[in-house]
Structure 1
Amino acid sequence: MRKNARSIPVNKFGGESGESITIERISFEQLPELGEWEQPERHDRHSFFLLEKGNVTMEIDFQQYKIHSPSVIYMHPDQVHRIIGFENVTVVAWAANNENLHPGYLKLLEDIAPAAPMPLNPEAYALLVEAASLCIRLTERRKDQLYHSLLKDQINALVALVIASYLEIWAPTGKLSRAEVVTKAFREALALHFRQLKQPAKYAQQLNLSTPYLNECVRNVTGLSVSHHIQQRVILEAKRLLFHSDQSLKEIAATLGYDDYTYFSRLFTKVSGMAPLSFRNKNLD
């Protein structure tokens, strides 16, 4: 059931302590009622979950995943997710904000997001368990003079191992073509500016390219136009807000940069095949 909320809840790791890096190993059995676990949320930082034992069913941006151990899950701060069910789970959960992640690793995380949960082979799993266990042991040495530096370095090593596992599957082989480089730059700009910029020409201007050339590159790599990608990103965010918040359609349209909410409603219907309020009502119990 969708929880009434004015906006999508954000889970602030570290709680009242305000810790910028957190890691812990958690074990729990299947519960009759999931309670707050079942409510959708975002995280306030990049978060990772190493599923050592058991099974978890999660919904991530309207896609349901049945995750079996051993697996790793990376969650970008933009992504909205909720737990649907779990059974006999042991998981290592860690999170870090942008300031504590190596800039190169942060760039790679932006490149691979959104990433689906990934099963691990025995070698990758054993290495991650060893690195995670060392991180957890370091959290017990808070009085050490270099505590934060040690923990930061080890967390970054752990994040690098996760990225490496994803890149084995995700990364293209060989040098990127010019079209792939342009498309990658467009996707990065889209992630930052989709609320403000809606026209392909604006993105071409950002990238110092002509609009036809940008469209040609993106279409050659993805098979879809720049306009298609812009609309899909906007409508994904609209779906998140329609399902996970109680904001009105007019408020959601304004949040996403549309002063004319009737136009936005027509766009949503065209792209998703369903009117906004029908989408909201369909997903209510």
Structure 2
Amino acid sequence: MMNKKSIPGGIRTLETASADVYISHLTDIEAADPVNLPHRDADYMLLFQEKGYLCLMVDDNQVELNGHSVYFILPGQLRHHVKSQTACWILALNPSLIQENLRLKLNEHYYGKKPVPISPVKAERFEKVMRFLDEELRESLYGFSRLTVRKGLIDIISGMLTEEYAVPTSLAHDEHARFSGITREFKELLLKKFKEMKRPADYAEALRLSTPYLNQAIKASTGFTVSYWIQKMIMNEARVLLSSTAKPIKDIAHELGYRDQAYFSRLFSKTQQLSPQKYRLQHQSNVNKQDA
């Protein structure tokens, strides 16, 4: 996200009485703007594009928004602006400002989430409520009622965006509902503990389930095993660290919970079809080509 202490060209950042919420209307971005540099934030970033085109890198995935669309970035995800010709609202929220049920639902989409196109009618609703919140944040915060209005607008925006990512499934069947709940808890735990907990049995124990039952639940809900998600999370973080830092591979292995660098390198090579060294060189080469 943009530097909250300065206002880079083309971006208007409104600071509120609380440092927990920022709203911006993004239009033109200059080459020197901080948003062009890879960075991480502790906030949830909710995006609503009114019109145009916006291209971002999130972790090591290129994300493109076209026309009316919504998207979000989770805390800790590496992000930077690539190119755009857009009119886009960006709302950055401290996790404490998002209702827990909505936050957990958003966290389920750590992997594989893509921008969601929305209808002109929905786009008009998003634009109205974003502008309303924008205007509210310009005013001095006096009294409980104004704070309640602001929190209500944040709830509406986060709820509307989360709804666009809700999978239309029937929860009538008890087992399906139970598996969905287990999957949500597992992914929440995975986000927090993937550097320390490497085995499916670790997660099963933490969730007070048997390992086979946890695997059954995760496979039924996502199509993939617990081991798949653990490995995917670790390798995603490894790619981010290799591409965005100059840390030695040994240090990256240790940061991800591997004392044996050779084992980490073999695991990375097996899953990514490239050694860590070659992945870093390839990424640097691609970046240099883009800058040329």
TM-score range, shorter chain: 0.7 to 0.9
How much does 1:199 deviate? 1.0
Structure 1 residue identity aligned to 2:60: F
1:107 counterpart letter in structure 2: L
The percent identity for this pair of structures is 24
3-state SS in 1 of match to 2:186: helix
Query: Kindly tell me: are residues 224 and 25 of structure 1, through their superposed partners in 2, closer, same or farther at Cα, counting changes over 3 Å?
Result: closer
Write the distance in 1 (CA, Å) between the matches of 2:6 and 2:105. 27
Please tell me whether residue 251 in structure 1 is matched to residue 248 in structure 2. Answer: no
What are the within-5 Å matches in structure 2 for residues 45-56 of structure 1? 45-56=43-54
- Size of the aligned set, in residue pairs, is 271
Larger RCO (CA under 8 A, 6+ residues apart): 1
Residues 1:154 and 2:135 aligned together:
no
Shift of 1:27: 2.5
Aligned to 2:130: 132
Q: 1:259 Cα shift? A: 1.2
Q: Identify unmatched segments of 5+ residues in structure 2.
A: 8-14
Q: Structure 1 pair 166/221, CA: closer, same or farther in 2 (3 Å)?
A: closer
Quote the offset at 1:166 in angstroms. Answer: 2.0
- What is the distance in 1 between the residues matched to 2:102 and 2:182? 20
Q: CA RMSD in A?
A: 2.3
TM-score of the aligned structures, taking structure 2 as reference length: 0.84
Match of 2:67 among 54, 66, 69: 69
Structure 1: runs of 5 or more not aligned: 1-9
What SS is found at the alignment partner of 1:172? coil
**Residues 11, 42 of structure 1: 8 Å contact kept:** no
TM-score, length basis structure 1: 0.86
- Indicate conservation of the 8 Å contact 1:61/1:81, yes or no: yes
Change in 2 beyond 3 A, CA 1:184/1:140 = closer
Deviation for aligned residue 1:235: 0.6
Which residues of 2 match residues 10-159 of structure 1 at below 5 A?
13=4, 19-28=19-28, 33=31, 36-87=34-85, 89-114=86-111, 115-146=113-144, 147-159=146-158
Work out the CA distance in 1 between the residues paired with 2:179 and 2:141: 51
Distance 1:75 1:150, change over 3 A: same
- Structure 1 letter corresponding to 2:143: Q
Residue aligning to 1:188: 188
Query: Does structure 2 conserve the Cα–Cα contact (< 8 Å) formed by 1:34 and 1:85?
Result: no
Q: Is the 8 A contact 1:124 1:165 kept in 2?
A: no
Q: Which moved more, 1:207-216 or 1:219-228?
A: 219-228
